[in-house]
Structure 1
Amino acid sequence: MIDTRREPTFSPSRPVEPRKRRRSSSTTAPILVALLAVAAAVAGWFWMTREVPVVRTPPTVSEPQAEPETAAAAQPPALVPAPAEAMVKAEDVRGALMQLLGRDAVLQFLETTDFPRKAVATLDNLGREHAPVSAWPVLPAPGRFLVAASGSSQVIATENAMRYWPFVAFVNSIDAAQAVELYRRMYPVLQQAYRDLGFGDRSLHQRVFQVIDVLLATPDPAQPPKITLTEVKGPIPSAQPWTRYQYDDARLERLTAGQKMLLRMGPDNRKALKLKLEEFRQQLLQASAAPSRQ
C-alpha cells in the first residue's frame, strides 16, 4: 500500500528559512537529522499530508523483523569514534538542533521530544515494509495526498511535488560534512536508543548505510505511477479513504516504505534528495575506518 494503517513495527511513541550555518562543530546537525530531514521530506511531508494527529507517546518495542533483501549489502566501514570530551549527551540534542537550524525551523519541522528513539526507529523502518507515522520525529503538514486521472486510471498528481519543495530545500541546506561530524559526537546516544528498541548489539551505523543504499536504489519511473484505491467491504465507510491507495505495478508495491515515499514526491524532488543522500554517504565513508572484522 502507498499508505497504511496496519499495526507498525514500532508504535510510539511551512517552510521557514534555516539559520545561516555556523562553522563551529558544536553547531552542526547530526546525520540522523539529515537522513530524517530526507525522511521528513519523503514521509513527514510527503506521507503525513493526510492530517493525522501527532502521537507523542514513546515507541513500544516489538521483535525486530528480518532485514529485507533490498537492504542486504556488504558490511560497511566502522565509524571512527569522536573524542569522549566532544560527545553530545541526550539532553543536549534539542539545543544542538536549534543552534544550527534555528529555533523556528526546529519547532516548525521537528518533534524533538524523545528525538533519538524516534529518529533511529524511523531510520530503521525506512528500509522495511512499513514506517509508522506515529514514530516520526517530524511534525505533520496540512493538506492531503493528491491523485489525478490518467485515462481510465489514477496516478499520483504532479501537484504533490509543489508542496514538498520547501522542505527539500531545507534538507539541501544542511552541510553534510558538519552533519556527519555531529553524528559521530551523538553516536553513543543514538546507538543506545537503537539498543533500547530491541536491536541488542546490532550496529546502527551499519543500518544507516543499508537504508541510504535502499533509498538510493529507488526506481525512477518514466511516468507518474498508476495507483488504485483498494476496496474495503463492510457496513462502515472509511473515514480516510486516501490511506488505501496501492501501486498498480507489483514491482513498485513490493518496495520498502522509504522507497514508496520517494516515489510520491515527484521526480525533481526525488533526484534532489538522492543527490543529497549520495553526499551524506561519501561523508560517512570519510568518517569511517576499515570494515569491522567482528
Structure 2
Amino acid sequence: MCKDAAKPKPIMPLLLIGLGGFALLVALYFWMTSDNKDIPTMEKPTPRPVVPAPVKTEVEQAKPTPPPAQEPIIEEEEVVEPAPVVVAPPVDTSDAAVKTSILATADYEAAASLLVDESLLQRFVVTAANLAEGEVAPNHQLLQPPSQNFRIYQQGGKEWIDPASYKRYTPYVDVIDTMSADTLVSLYETYQPTLNQLYAEIGDPSEPFNDVLKQAIEHLLETPSVPVPVEVYTDSVMYKYKDERLESLSMPQKHLIRMGPENMRRVKAKLREILEML
C-alpha cells in the first residue's frame, strides 16, 4: 500500500603619446638662412697687377676633381604605434541572459520547464555555499520541485521508499545528462567574476568561490551508495531513514539518496567530470 509524504526539497545545481626632437630642424634652418649681410664694410683695396695663372702640367691636369661634399643622409626613426586596447563588452548577468545561456547547453524545452526564472546567479552561490557546509537552502532552489509527492509503501509492518519516488527526479537527471561538462565549465568561467562578488557578500571575501564550489561537489560525491529497498519511518512530521548511518548524513546527502541509486550514480558521474575541470 502506497501513500504520499511531504515533498522533499530538491538541490541542484588603455594611448601612449610620443614626442619627437626638433634640434636638427633648428640647425638646418639657421644654416640655410645665413648670408653676408652681417659682414662689416671695408675700403676698396688698391688694384694689384694681374698675374697670369700658372699653366697646369699634364699630371696636374689629369688629377681628378673630387666630388662635391654631400649632406649626410639622416634616417628617420620608425615610430611604432602602440597596439589598440581591446575592451571586452560587459557580461550580461540579467536573469533572462543567464537562463538563456544555461538552456543553450541542454535540452531546451525540458530544461526550460525545470529551471527557475529569478536570481539565478545568487541562488547558485547560496546553494553552493550551503552545500559546502552540508546544509541546504530551501528558499534558494535553482530548480522547480517535482510535481509528484514522495511515496512509500508498507510491507511486513515496515515502511520503505517506493521506487516510484525515484522516478520523480529522472527528468532532472536526463536534462543534466544532455549538458556537456566542457560547456558548463566554460559558462561558469564566464560568470565567475560576478559569482566571486556575490559570494564575497555572504561568505569569506578572501576565499575564491571556485574553492567553495569544489567543496560542495566533493561533499555530494561522498554520499554512500545505498542498496534498495530503503527503510524509513515517520515521526509524524517527516520521514527519516531507519538506518542511523544514513540518518546521520547531511541533508544534501540524504536528498541525493532519495533520488534513487541509478539517478545518484548519473549525477555523481557528471559531478566528477566537472570537478576534474575546475
Distance 2:90 2:248 in 1: 39
> Structure 1: 5+ residue runs without aligned partners?
6-37, 42-82, 232-240, 285-294
Equivalent in the alignment of 1:85: 88
Q: State whether residues 122 and 131 of structure 1, in contact with CA within 8 Å, keep that contact through their aligned partners in structure 2.
A: yes
Distance 1:132 1:179 in 2: 22
Distance 2:140 2:186 in 1: 25
Relative to structure 1, the CA distance from residue 270 to residue 87 in structure 2 (aligned partners, 3 Å threshold; closer, same or farther) is: farther
1:39 aligned onto 2:11: yes
Say what the alpha-carbon RMSD is for the aligned residues.
2.9
- Equivalent pairs: percent with the same residue? 26
Deviation at 1:105, TM superposition (A): 4.0
Equivalent in the alignment of 1:196: 201
> Structure 2: 5+ residue runs without aligned partners?
14-85
3-state SS of 1:100 partner: coil
Equivalent in the alignment of 1:176: 181
Deviation at 1:86, TM superposition (A): 7.7
1:36-93, Cα deviation, whole Å (9 max, x unpaired): xx9348xxxxxxxxxxxxxxxxxxxxxxxxxxxxxxxxxxxxxxxxx98387342232
Equivalent in the alignment of 1:219: 224
Alignment match of 2:114 (pick from 98, 109, 112):
109
1:279 aligned onto 2:251: no
Stretch deviating more after TM superposition (208-217 or 195-204):
195-204
1:99 aligned onto 2:71: no
Relative to structure 1, the CA distance from residue 172 to residue 102 in structure 2 (aligned partners, 3 Å threshold; closer, same or farther) is: closer
3-state SS of 1:131 partner: coil
1:96-136, Cα deviation, whole Å (9 max, x unpaired): 22433466445311113111111111122224454132211
Query: Structure 2 matches for 1:1-294, cutoff 5 A?
Result: 39-40=11-12, 85=88, 88-91=91-94, 92-101=97-106, 104-231=109-236, 241=237, 244-284=238-278
Larger helix fraction of residues: 1
Q: State whether residues 166 and 259 of structure 2, in contact with CA within 8 Å, keep that contact through their aligned partners in structure 1.
A: yes
Q: State whether residues 125 and 131 of structure 1, in contact with CA within 8 Å, keep that contact through their aligned partners in structure 2.
A: yes
Relative to structure 1, the CA distance from residue 153 to residue 180 in structure 2 (aligned partners, 3 Å threshold; closer, same or farther) is: same
Distance 2:90 2:250 in 1: 33
Distance 2:216 2:6 in 1: 19
Distance 1:87 1:179 in 2: 20
Distance 2:139 2:90 in 1: 29
Q: Which has the higher contact order (CA 8 A, sep 6+)?
A: 1
Letter aligned with residue 191 of structure 2: M
**TM-score, reference length from structure 2:** 0.64
Relative to structure 1, the CA distance from residue 89 to residue 205 in structure 2 (aligned partners, 3 Å threshold; closer, same or farther) is: same
Distance 1:269 1:93 in 2: 26
- CA radius of gyration, larger in: 2
Distance 2:273 2:263 in 1: 16
Distance 1:84 1:117 in 2: 26
Distance 1:84 1:141 in 2: 44
**TM-score, reference length from structure 1:** 0.60
3-state SS of 2:196 partner: helix
